[in-house]
Structure 1
Amino acid sequence: MTKLVVRFSLIALLVLVSACKPIWYKPPDTPEALWQLRSEKLATLTTWAIKGRTAITQGKEGWNAGISWSEQQGAFQINLTGPFAQGGVVLKGDQQQVVLTMAGGKKITSTTPERLLEEHLGVRMPVSALRDWVRGLPATKQKVDTMELDIEGRITYLKQQDWEVEILRYVPFEQYYLPAKIFIKHPDVSLRLIIRDWDKAE
């Protein structure tokens, strides 16, 4: 009789525990699964604008600049102000051409923004990769060596072709969570980008 009571008690307990779990219950998504959904959504964000500040250290030299960056369907414009930018420069480009407008109005063209900045300002800035990194995505044209995610599926650390990217803070913008503090390291240069505002490009 005692064994029968114990058996029925166990069955009742199992039924009770099962009843406490909603029928729609599913295990929480893994960071990798959340990242897959997030990356697909971020890839649709092709029109945006940011304002903030950047600090670049290259060898024994260092520069600071205000930055205003807008992106519209593959075309971009970056305004840099401050000592690093020698009074202010504008970098505009698309898939065909990139134009650097100096503070005095002189215009210089090239096929890549990196070449223009390095040859005419002496600064190594990975603009092409930053167009993806700033949204919290790996650079599409570089192999991903290492990628670390937080529990929400957001990139916290990324390594691509000797570039190390740390995203230390995210902020909400419309239906997205986007980077607000990015540290980037390379064997011969480091860059800090603090984003103050996210907005829609006009």
Structure 2
Amino acid sequence: MIKKLLLLTLWVLVSGCSTLWQSKPQAPAETLWLERQSQLKQLDNWTLRGRTAIQQGKEGWNAGVSWHQSPDQFEIRLTGPFSQGAVNLSGDQNAVLLTNSSGERYVAATPEQLLEEVLGWQLPISALRDWVKGLPFSEAAVTYRELDRDGRLVALEQAGWQVSFMRYVPFQGTDVPDKIFIKRDQLSVRLVVSAWQSE
């Protein structure tokens, strides 16, 4: 009788320990995605540094990139496109200024218009502000979206652009992409971030 009682007690203790050591079930990806969006939207003052490779048709360019973003203004510095030094792109909601290494200055209403007129690049800079954080562009409909099990964007389609988020790193209590591939028609952009910094 005593032996049976001891065995029963041991079984209860083992069962209890097993329950304690069970991992907490992970929240569904959609729930985690909603939480992530809230966190990422609060990241409105940051700097990233890295490199980008741009391929348009048969032509290709590589450049170092430094991007500072504040709530109302941005400044993007591209180092080395066309082997002609640096290109500086800065602006706000009213106008955008491009300055090249020769000191020539160009102004337009949007960064997309300015880059196409001066460099011949059709880059979605306005959308990239959201994409680089791992968010959909707030001003375009989402036609396709794929999440990983942690509620992070893996693939996205907006306005004909296909965006692949290939890797994430921790930043400010959440995760942000550090490797992104963007493609539409004959234009593709690869961005590899070497450093994220909060301001």
Q: How does 1:167-178 map to 2 (within 5 A)?
A: 167-178=165-176
Q: Distance in 2 between matches of 1:151 and 1:94?
A: 36
- Secondary structure of 1:138's counterpart equals coil
The alpha-carbon distance between structure 1 residues 80 and 19, as it changes in their structure 2 partners (threshold 3 A), is closer
Residue 129 of structure 2 corresponds to which residue in structure 1? 131
For the pair 1:34 / 2:32, whether they are aligned, the reply is yes
Q: TM-score, normalised by structure 1?
A: 0.86
CA–CA separation in structure 1 for the residues paired with 2:83 and 2:193: 18
Shift of 1:27: 4.4
CA distance in 1, matches of 2:101, 2:181: 27
Match for residue 56 of structure 2?
A: 58
Report the equivalent of 1:108. 106
Q: Distance in 2 between matches of 1:52 and 1:19?
A: 48
Deviation at 1:108?
1.1
Q: What residue number does 1:44 align with?
A: 42
Which amino acid is the alignment partner of residue 133 of structure 1? W
Corresponding position: 1:161 with 2:196: no
Q: Deviations over 1:120-142 (max 9, x none)?
A: 01112110000000000000111
The aligned counterpart of 1:147 is 145
RMSD over aligned CA atoms reads: 2.1
Residues 142-195 of structure 1 deviation map (CA, whole Å, 9 limit, x = unaligned): 100011001110001000011000000001123121100000010120000000
Paired residue for 2:196? 198
Tell me the TM-score normalized by structure 2. Answer: 0.87
Cα distance in structure 2, aligned partners of 1:175 and 1:138: 19
Residue by residue, what CA displacement relative to the aligned partner does 1:40-85 show, whole Å, maximum 9, x if unpaired? 1100100000000000110110011000000011310000011337
Hey, what's the Cα distance between the residues in 2 that align with 1:120 and 1:128? 17
Show the counterpart of 1:185: 183
User: Which residues of structure 1 form unaligned runs of 5+?
Assistant: 1-12
Q: Indicate the residue corresponding to 1:9 in structure 2.
A: none
SS at match of 1:39: helix
Aligned-partner residue type, residue 57 of structure 1: Q
